Chains A and B, each alone.
Chain A
Amino acid sequence: MHRILHVEDEDDIRTIAKLTLEALGGFEVESCESGSQAIARVAAFNPDLILLDVMMPGMDGPMTLAELRKLPATAHTPVVFMTAKAQPHEIAKFRELGAIDVVTKPFDPQALCENLDAIWRRFEEA
Chain B
Amino acid sequence: MSVATFDGFLRRFNDTWITALGYDHDELISTPYINFIHPDDRVKTETAMKRLETEGDVTNLEIRMLHNDGSDRVVLWNAIANRHERQIYATGHDITAIKAIDRMKDEFVSTVSHELRTPLTSIKGALGLMRAKKLGALSADMNTMLEIAYKNCDRLVLLINDILDVEKIEAGKMDFRFDSVDIVACVRNALVANQSYADQFGVQLTLKTDMSSAFVRGDEGRMMQVMANLLSNAAKFTHKNDTVIIGVNRFGGKIRISVQDHGIGIAEGFRRHIFEKFSQHDSSDRRKVSGTGLGLNIVRNIVERHGGLIHFDTKIGQGTTFYVDIPEIVPATTNEDAQSASRILICGDDPDVAMVLRKTIESCGYTVDVALSAAEAVALLEQHNYAGMTLDLVLPDISGIEFFKRLRANPRTHLLPIIIVSATATESIEKINGSAINVVDWLDKPFDEQRLTNAVRAAIAMSVNSSYRVLHIEDDSDLVQVVARQIGAAASFVSSSTIAAAKQLLGRERFDLVILDLTLPDRRGEELLPLMQNPDGKPIPVIIFSALEVPTEIAQRVRAVLIKTRSTDRMLIDAIDELIVRNGKISSDGEQMIPANGLNAHS
State the A residues within 8 Å of B (CB): 10, 12-13, 16-17, 19-20, 23-24, 55, 69, 76, 84-85, 87-89, 96-98, 105-110, 126
- Asked if B300 is at the interface of the complex by the 8 Å CB criterion, the answer is no
Residue of B nearest to A111 (CB): B128
- Asked if B132 is at the interface of the complex by the 8 Å CB criterion, the answer is yes
Contact with A along B108-152 (1 / 0, CB 8 A): 000000100110111111101100101100000000000000000
Q: How far is the CB of A29 from chain B (nearest CB, A)?
A: 14
Residue of A nearest to B135 (CB): A23
Q: How far is the CB of B159 from chain A (nearest CB, A)?
A: 13
Q: Is the CB of B134 within 8 A of A10?
A: no
Contact with A along B215-259 (1 / 0, CB 8 A): 000010100000000000000000000000000000000000000
Q: How far is the CB of B119 from chain A (nearest CB, A)?
A: 8
Residue of A nearest to B125 (CB): A16
- Asked if B508 is at the interface of the complex by the 8 Å CB criterion, the answer is no
Taking CB atoms, residues of chain B closer than 8 Å to A106 are: 117, 120-121, 123-125, 153, 157
Q: Is the CB of A97 within 8 A of B122?
A: no
For the residues of B in contact with A, the DSSP-based class is: helix
Q: Is the CB of A16 within 8 A of B126?
A: yes
Q: Is the CB of B603 within 8 A of A105?
A: no
Of the candidates B121, B168, B405, B548, the one whose C-beta lies within 8 Å of that of A97 is B548
Taking CB atoms, residues of chain B closer than 8 Å to A88 are: 175, 177, 219, 221
- Asked if B444 is at the interface of the complex by the 8 Å CB criterion, the answer is yes
Q: Is the CB of A24 within 8 A of B129?
A: yes
Q: Is the CB of A96 within 8 A of B444?
A: yes
- What are 21 of the A-B contact pairs (CB < 8 Å)? A10-B122, A16-B121, A16-B122, A16-B126, A16-B129, A23-B132, A24-B129, A24-B132, A55-B114, A84-B117, A87-B168, A88-B219, A88-B221, A97-B548, A106-B117, A106-B125, A106-B153, A107-B121, A107-B124, A108-B124, A110-B132
Residue of B nearest to A93 (CB): B548
Closest 9 CB pairs of A and B: A16-B125, A109-B128, A12-B122, A106-B121, A84-B117, A106-B124, A89-B175, A23-B134, A105-B121
- Asked if B446 is at the interface of the complex by the 8 Å CB criterion, the answer is yes
Q: Is the CB of A13 within 8 A of B122?
A: yes
Q: Is the CB of A24 within 8 A of B134?
A: yes
Taking CB atoms, residues of chain B closer than 8 Å to A96 are: 405, 444, 548
Taking CB atoms, residues of chain A closer than 8 Å to B603 are: 126
Q: How far is the CB of B428 from chain A (nearest CB, A)?
A: 41
Residue of B nearest to A19 (CB): B129
Taking CB atoms, residues of chain A closer than 8 Å to B221 are: 88
A24-B132, A88-B219 known, 8 other contacts, Cβ within 8 Å: A23-B129, A55-B114, A69-B446, A84-B117, A88-B175, A106-B124, A109-B125, A109-B132
Cα distance, A3 to B125, chains bound together (Å): 20
Within 8 A of A (CB), among B74-131: 114, 117-118, 120-126, 128-129
Per the CB 8 Å criterion, the residue count for chain B at the interface is 28
Contact with A along B481-524 (1 / 0, CB 8 A): 00000000000000000000000000000000000000000000
- A84 and B121 in contact, given A23-B135, A96-B444, A110-B132 (Cβ under 8 angstroms): yes
Taking CB atoms, residues of chain A closer than 8 Å to B117 are: 84, 105-106
Cα distance, A24 to B134, chains bound together (Å): 7
Cα distance, A55 to B117, chains bound together (Å): 12
Cα distance, A48 to B448, chains bound together (Å): 18
Cα distance, A64 to B54, chains bound together (Å): 58
Taking CB atoms, residues of chain A closer than 8 Å to B444 are: 96
Q: Is the CB of A20 within 8 A of B129?
A: yes
Taking CB atoms, residues of chain B closer than 8 Å to A107 are: 121, 124-125, 128
Q: How far is the CB of B129 from chain A (nearest CB, A)?
A: 5
Taking CB atoms, residues of chain A closer than 8 Å to B548 are: 96-97
Taking CB atoms, residues of chain B closer than 8 Å to A23 are: 129, 132, 134-135
Q: How far is the CB of A5 from chain B (nearest CB, A)?
A: 18
Cα distance, A16 to B120, chains bound together (Å): 12
Of the candidates A10, A20, A24, A109, the one whose C-beta lies within 8 Å of that of B118 is A10
- A84 and B126 in contact, given A23-B134, A106-B120 (Cβ under 8 angstroms): no
Q: Is the CB of B128 within 8 A of A110?
A: yes
Cα distance, A73 to B118, chains bound together (Å): 31
Taking CB atoms, residues of chain A closer than 8 Å to B177 are: 88-89
Taking CB atoms, residues of chain A closer than 8 Å to B128 are: 20, 107-110
Q: How far is the CB of B393 from chain A (nearest CB, A)?
A: 17
Cα distance, A24 to B126, chains bound together (Å): 13
Cα distance, A42 to B221, chains bound together (Å): 36
Q: Is the CB of B446 within 8 A of A98?
A: yes
Taking CB atoms, residues of chain A closer than 8 Å to B175 are: 87-89
Taking CB atoms, residues of chain B closer than 8 Å to A126 are: 603
Q: Is the CB of B129 within 8 A of A109?
A: yes
Taking CB atoms, residues of chain A closer than 8 Å to B122 are: 10, 12-13, 16
- A17 and B125 in contact, given A24-B134, A84-B118 (Cβ under 8 angstroms): yes
Cα distance, A12 to B177, chains bound together (Å): 35
Taking CB atoms, residues of chain B closer than 8 Å to A110 are: 128, 132
Q: How far is the CB of A56 from chain B (nearest CB, A)?
A: 12
Which residue among B120, B122, B175, B444 has the maximum number of chain A CB atoms within 10 Å of its CB? Answer: B122
Taking CB atoms, residues of chain A closer than 8 Å to B126 are: 12, 16
Residue of B nearest to A70 (CB): B446
Cα distance, A109 to B118, chains bound together (Å): 15
Cα distance, A16 to B131, chains bound together (Å): 13
Taking CB atoms, residues of chain B closer than 8 Å to A109 are: 125, 128-129, 132
Within 8 A of A (CB), among B164-212: 168, 175, 177
Q: How far is the CB of A109 from chain B (nearest CB, A)?
A: 4
Residue of A nearest to B156 (CB): A106
Taking CB atoms, residues of chain A closer than 8 Å to B120 are: 106
Taking CB atoms, residues of chain B closer than 8 Å to A16 are: 121-122, 125-126, 129
